[in-house]
Structures are given as C-alpha cells and as structure tokens.
A and B are shown apart, each in its own frame.
Chain A
C-alpha cells in the first residue's frame, strides 16, 4: 500500500476488483443479443443519424476535436515553423521572462 498524498494505492486490491467486475460484465454480456451485426453495418459511420460530412479513416478519428480546436491548431502550426531562427527567438524570450520573474518578483 502506497500513500499518494490524499489517498493510497494497492495494485493487488485493484486487480481483485478488476477481476470481479470483469466477471460481472462477462455475465451481463452473455445475457445480450446472440446474433451478430452484419459485417457491412459494423463499418458504417454513425454521425448523430446524419450522413457523415467527410470520409473518415482510422487516422482521422479525432476529426471533430480538430474542428473544434481549429483556431488553436492554426496558431500552433504557425508557431511550429521549423525555422531555426524561431527556435532561437523562443529561447531568448524564455531567458527574458525568467530573468524578469527572478529579478523583479
């Protein structure tokens, strides 16, 4: 048992609980539908009942997240220019900020 600040942690107790819950889940699963969904239906995208706006692949599974965070990502792409001058600029920026904080605070 490890003290972690506000609580404690024991991997053995976790595994015991995990095994118990897994058995219950397996039991519930056995009560479910016996017939399998047809192969074709398995791969159809579900987009709140509407036709999906893009052809989605596994590499693009977080399309919605990127759309919602569009402004952040556009800014981040601009910052990550790959130009070494920018890398040096950020270093100088950090030096100045740390120096101001350490000297004036």
Chain B
C-alpha cells in the first residue's frame, strides 16, 4: 500500500475536492472535518515519503504500470513518472503543512466572512484542487504532467481570487487568468520544441540528451520554459499580478499562495539544475539579477503602501528575491563550496519564507476578522485590545526582517556570506533589503498596534485561529534556536539532491 504513497498524496486531495460539495450537503461541520481529514492523510503520506527518501534515496513511481517500479521498459521512459527526492519531498511537506494550518484557521474565519454555505463548499473544493496541483507539480518527473498540474493550480487559484464576488475581485481574477494562460502557452511551446526534437517528455531522459549536445532549439526551449515558470513565481518585473491577487484573496489563502510561488521556485531549480545544468552559470546569473531586483523593488514599494495586504504582498515578493538570490548563486557557483552554502541558504529560506510570511498574512486576516479593516490609516492601538496578536506580529516582524535569533536570520546569513564571495555588491543589496524590511514592519507595528486604544468594534478572535498562529510562531522560534536540525536533516539532503543531477537521471534511466 505504501509504495503507492506518491500517487495517493495527489489523489487524496483531488478526490476530497470533488467530494466536498456532496459532503457539504450533510452539514458544514462534517464538511470541515472531511477537508481537514483529507489534508492530515496527505500530510502523513508526505511525511512518510520524506522519511523513506532520507533513508533509501530517490523514489520513482510509474502511474498506470503493472508495477509502480516499472519505469523504463526497454530503457525508454513511458507513462507518467513521479520522481521524488529530498527537494520535492521537502517542498511538498511545506505546501501541505501550510495548507493544513490555513484550513484549520479558515474553520471560523470563513464563517465570519461568508454566510453562504455553498459558496464556502466551493472555496474548500477549489483549495483542495489547488493543493493537489501544487503537490503534482512538485512530484512530477515529466514536462507534460507539469503543464497539466500548473494549469490546475492556475484555474483553481483564479476562481479563488474572485471569492469576494465584487468588481475588484473579478478584475484581479480576470488579470490572473490572462497572465496564467499566456504563461501556460509559452510553457507548452517550450515543451513542444523539446518533444519535437527528442520525442521525450520525461525530464531525466531529456537531461541525458541535452548533456550529450545542447542545440539551438534547446536554448529557445529553455528560455520559453524558464520565462513561463518565472511568471508563476512572480519576481520583478513579473510581479504585478501577484499584488492584485494577494490583495483580493482571503488572507489565509494568501499563505497557501506563497507556497505556490515556492513550488514554482522548486520547478525552476529542478529544470535548471537537473535538466539544463549545462547552462548553469548563465542561468544562475539571470536568477540572481531577478532576485536582486525583487528584493529592492519589493521592499521599496512595500514601504509606500497603505493597505496591509498590498504591503505584505510586496514584502513577499522581496522574500522570494532572497530565495532566488541563494538558488541563483548556487547555480552560478555550483562547483564551489560557497555555492553549496548559498543553495542551502536558499532552500532554508524557502521554509522560513513560508512560515514567516504565512504567519504575517494570518495576522492580517485576524486583524480583518476583528476590525473588518485592512488600511493602516484606519487602524491603531490594537495592542490594547489583543496583546497576543501584537506578540505574534513582533515574532513575525523580527523573523521576516532576518534579526537574530529568529529563523530568517540563519538563512539570510548563509545567503549573504556566500553571495559576498560571488560579488560583494549582491550582499550589500540583500542587507539593505533586510533593513528596509524591518522599516516596513516597524511602520506597520507603530501604525496598527501602538497609539491610543482602538475604540471601534473589535470582534474577539476564536481560539482555533490564535492556536494556528501560535503553532507557526513556535516553529519560527524553534527553527531560529535549533537551525542545525533543519539544515542537517532536510536542507543539506535537498541541496545535495539538486546539485547531483546524475542521481536524478539515474532514478529513471
């Protein structure tokens, strides 16, 4: 049974998504339990896969084969092949953990923002589809399935963006649909070029062909695929759609959307490290430049915003920039020690970003739940009404700004020091970004939490929402105090798996 864990980790949320509307007819409590149960099952499968991979190495699974291990009959990979190693196992663990936390948070949050039961049924259905798409994108070992799962995430998230059913939500959803469709077309074109040359869709098999000879068409295909994936990740200057949709999505869902960008970063890393590794140095510099741009533009634009969600959205773009800076340096200097540390820092920052930005968006959601406001000019003195929320915000603020001894500091330190070896100017921009990040959240803290007590209507926050935020905050503190546990057991094996492209090819060929 457990040999089918990779397929089940995708199938369970997919099945649960279609069943939600039916189960929702019985009652909202049973529907909520169903959603949470399906995510807990998926989480257990992903934890099992992480354990198995760290113990036994890469896990491959052929969908539709008589035996799941029948990957390449006659030395030629056929069928849909899922290939799971330490990187995508870690990414899927982050995705499912944050989604589970967001769903528990949503239990009471969604009741407060919509009374329409069927509307919430659809919300959960789309959220589960979105989760299945993200896990599928992480696990897949072939390009066409990647395209299918990318489309699944795009369509479900576009529908989720229009959740509030007002003019701005529909506009944001429409923009996102156009952007996703164009990105998907470019991706499909790139995949088509590869298929026309090699008659293959499997990533490992294509990597083997490219290793022998990189043609002009391969370069065209690389450009198209990388651009399409970058559009999904949303670094500057491809970030503008992100701010629109983050503003219109319910706050807990933004926390899930952040993990979707991280899945995009994983896919980009997989393609550049494992398939087009011949172009490593050049593509590394492209990623570095986009990362640095994202850091600078993200923090400076965030400083300007008055709406909490838009402010956080720009901060999230800057955080993605740090991950890209680390991974880009890992690519550009793959053969050097500092390249490996930069890559490890980038991977660790993936985990930290999901936790820190996830917590801050959940706090934004809690502020909205309590006050029905997201404009910082309408808020102030909330610390007098909820000391616990203020404490959570301080933890999130210090962690995302990379201050010691919080988790963000460790990953950023690893990135700065290794990037410094590549080019000191990059480290300067990174540190400047961190300082501005602190300035952004200091402004939010002063405007929203300090000052005279908030006198308007303030709804008490339910225990489930507070519990989720405190659990994430405790993880942040734990990772800050004991970073070596995450680095030794999760990050280093993941960085090893990315660097070692021959092992990835060997899993299939």
A5, A14, A57, A79: most-surrounded residue (chain B CB, <10 A): A5
Distance in Å: Cβ of A15 to nearest Cβ of chain B = 6
Q: Answer yes or no: A24 CB below 8 A from chain B CBs.
A: no
Q: A residues within 8 A CB of B446? A: 58, 61
In the complex, per-residue mask of A1-20: 1 if CB is within 8 Å of any chain B CB, else 0: 11111110101101100100
Distance in Å: Cβ of B322 to nearest Cβ of chain A = 14
Q: Which of A32-62 contact B (CB under 8 A)?
A: 57-59, 61-62
Q: B residues within 8 A CB of A76? A: 297, 300-301
Q: Which of A88-104 contact B (CB under 8 A)?
A: 88, 90-91, 93-95, 98-99, 101-103
Report yes or no: B410 in contact with A9, Cβ–Cβ below 8 A: yes
B182, B222, B237, B418: most-surrounded residue (chain A CB, <10 A): B237
In the complex, per-residue mask of B365-386: 1 if CB is within 8 Å of any chain A CB, else 0: 0000000000011001000000
Report yes or no: A80 in contact with B301, Cβ–Cβ below 8 A: yes
Q: A residues within 8 A CB of B174? A: 84
* Given A69-B300, A88-B178, CB of A58 within 8 Å of CB of B227: no
Chain B: how many interface residues by the 8 Å CB criterion? Answer: 62
Using a CB–CB cutoff of 8 Å, the interface residues on chain A facing chain B are 1-7, 9, 11-12, 14-15, 18, 57-59, 61-62, 65-66, 69, 72-73, 76, 79-80, 82, 84, 86-88, 90-91, 93-95, 98-99, 101-103, 105
Using a CB–CB cutoff of 8 Å, the interface residues on chain B facing chain A are 174-175, 178-179, 182-183, 186, 216, 219-220, 222-224, 226-227, 230-231, 237-238, 240-241, 243-244, 279, 282-283, 286, 297, 300-301, 303-304, 306, 338, 341-342, 345, 376-377, 380, 404-405, 409-410, 413-414, 417-418, 420-421, 439, 443, 446-447, 450-451, 480-484, 487
Query: 9 nearest interchain CB pairs?
Result: A5-B417, A99-B223, A11-B405, A5-B418, A95-B227, A6-B417, A58-B447, A90-B237, A58-B446
